[in-house]
Structure 1
């Protein structure tokens, strides 16, 4: 089974693209969704995160805004958070692999925002980068509730520049031309990944 990384900076259309792979019958493991579940009531990360970052747990769940404020722009705090969350998420990812293997899937897509930033590409058979022009990215993200230019800049500072991601990618899906164009690209990428190696 091939392991395919799907990544892209904030506002590039990664979640929508992941859904297109899912619609095509490819199992998709969504790292963000796994983190959300781990942070929710009864989630495996609630107690350890609350202990490491006092004041970030409210009503039995991790307050993502409070946690973001505790780690954004603070490399040591971010490293501490990652050391707590990554092993927990690793378990849910292993379960997704087992389910995909059991279903007879020939590939699984790992939807991970920070593949290159964490060196995760070394564990992938191929990496797909979802991309769009910078002005379109900014417009999409700033249209989100609670987003400000300052907060966007802080998030982008944590992410590898889009141009660098595109350069390293095995495939690039351009989401600037609409949903159908993106869906066509997804179909082409799946076909290319299924081609036997020479």
Structure 2
């Protein structure tokens, strides 16, 4: 089994915000399997899907972003999944809108949900797919920016990038992190 976790905040007021793009990607992955059914488990909305020959647990923690690590630790511990079989999908303000970056391990880069997962495991040795949301304009606070919604002019780019992110998740599941990184990180805009 592999585990793919999208980071975000629960609640209707956060639907469609930049900070919830991890939820959007994971929910789009679930649509690949028409038999997928969501249920509340491990403090998360979860469903199991098939990707190639793999069973994949998809999860959207229902804790708030900064406490995501506890939910992730619960599901990984219960299923005895090694960290190499965990992928966390999150927003990244240091990447332009729609740009994807896949890494096998590394720092949180200021992403508090990712940092909480690192703290919970005492390790940063799990994959992460970062989805660019761009930088706040002018003097806007980072928190206000990530809790805001994408501009109408960004919608098409975001929708295309969500499709590329789903392809990136599938590549990670079916071919492993190295092959997926080689494709995702080298891909010209608009492809994976």
Same fold (TM over 0.5): no
Greater relative contact order (Cα < 8 A, sep 6+): 1
Larger Rg belongs to: 1
Instruction: Specify which structure has the higher proportion of strand.
Output: 2
Q: TM-score range by the shorter chain?
A: 0.3 to 0.5
